[in-house]
Structure 1
Amino acid sequence: MTRIVLATHNQGKVAELRRILGDLDVVGLDEFPGAPDVAETEPTFAGNALLKARAIAAFTGLPAVADDSGLCVDALNGMPGVLSARWSGRFGAAAGDRDAANLQLLLDQLADVPDERRGAHFLCAAVLVTPDGAERTVEGRMRGTVIREPRGTGGFGYDPIFVPDGETRTTAEMSAAEKDAISHRGKAFRELAAVLPEALAAAGRS
């Protein structure tokens, strides 16, 4: 069985990828002490994911999968985008709950934006990098609307203020399975899962 390293210490993400990839052996960075902590310095989601996957493939000698994702708001010209996780900057860090600070800052910035202009999408770039340098990149999107008050206790980040198109609930009000079925991450990783066997076989022949 092919072992694949997911470039994260988040066991929830590891479990999610294991569900999607099925018969592949997926492990996280907890199994590789000393693995580099890669700074996300690129201006695109795909660029940041590739930074992480390249570093981990080189460190472990195994095929590596990484992703980067965020919320892109139409009225903010696609921001917070790649800055989604650190949108509130040092103020969020000082507050101790960066997710809550990011969410509140975004709501404040959209306070005067009418409902019909509060469209947004989540975007996820997922990549595979093999030790010989082969790379595959896929993307998944989830369109929706940013509402005015948080609802729900599930998920994380901006989930409590995002209602996907065709839904009345926020992604924080959905079960994990319901969210996975329509989410940007779910779409990206399912697409990556579809090309993984071919990509790994090609890497093995090179």
Structure 2
Amino acid sequence: MEDLVIASNNKGKINEFKVIFPEYNVIGISDLIEDFDVEETGETFEENAKLKSEAAARALNKRVIADDSGLEVFALNGEPGVFSGRYAGEGKDDDANIDKLLENLDNELDRRARFVCLVSMSAPGEETQLFEGIIEGEITLNKIGENGFGYDPIFYVVEKNKTMAQISPEDKNEISHRAKAIEKLKAHFKDDQ
């Protein structure tokens, strides 16, 4: 079974990749490089994904996949955007991030939002490939559901009539922003074979 290295220390993301790529031995970067961390200095999801995959590919001298993703809320001019993981501070605390977002939205009637994911694939001597996935939704007034991570408990998916945290992991892996980006990545793999 071929290895597929994911430049992430986020166990939730790595597990999603394992479900979507059962034909590969999915490995998180921390299993290969201790304390791997790339400063996300990009202003877009695309720039941050590329920073991570290119740094990891150089360090390992092999193909690496990274992603950068987050939540964009229309009424907040796209916040939290690239700061989704650290919206309430550097601690990357999901509950604190949700609390800050709900507080900033307050009584705003326009609660439209979208999750965006940019998957970046880099390999030595090859041009980095990018794949984007988006899912549209709305922000709820409070947390609903126990599944998922991040902003899932407050992200309502209209066509499912549920928040992302109420959707089973299997269903989420069919409709999520990450799943959509990864489907494009999978199609790219098939085209190369």
TM-score (norm 1): 0.86
Partner of 1:82 in structure 2?
82
Letter in 2 for 1:113: E
Partner of 1:70 in structure 2?
70
CA deviations over 1:111-134 (Å, ceiling 9, x no partner): 1211xx110000000011011132
Partner of 1:107 in structure 2?
102
How well do the aligned residues superpose, as a CA RMSD in angstroms? 1.8
CA distance in 1, matches of 2:45, 2:191: 24
CA distance in 1, matches of 2:171, 2:112: 21
CA distance in 2, matches of 1:104, 1:56: 33
Letter in 1 for 2:171: E
SS at match of 2:18: helix
Partner of 2:161 in structure 1?
168
Partner of 2:122 in structure 1?
129
Residues 84/22 of structure 1: CA separation in 2 closer, same or farther (3 Å cut): same
Partner of 1:50 in structure 2?
50
Structure whose CA Rg is larger: 1
Give unmatched runs, 5+ long, in structure 1: 202-206
Partner of 1:98 in structure 2?
93
Partner of 1:13 in structure 2?
13
SS at match of 2:126: coil
CA deviations over 1:55-99 (Å, ceiling 9, x no partner): 110111110100010000010111110011111126xx4xxx721
Partner of 2:131 in structure 1?
138
Give unmatched runs, 5+ long, in structure 2: none
Letter in 1 for 2:168: S
Partner of 1:204 in structure 2?
none
SS at match of 2:160: coil
Report the Cα offset of residue 36 of structure 1.
3.3
Letter in 2 for 1:60: L
CA deviations over 1:152-204 (Å, ceiling 9, x no partner): 111111111111131221111111011111100111111111102445x6xxx
> Does the CA-based 8 Å contact 2:30-2:36 persist in structure 1?
no
> Does the CA-based 8 Å contact 1:20-1:193 persist in structure 2?
no
Report the Cα offset of residue 6 of structure 1.
0.7
Report the Cα offset of residue 20 of structure 1.
2.0
Higher helix share: 1
Map of 1:170-185 to 2, 5 A cutoff?
170-185=163-178
CA deviations over 1:37-60 (Å, ceiling 9, x no partner): 111110000110100100110111
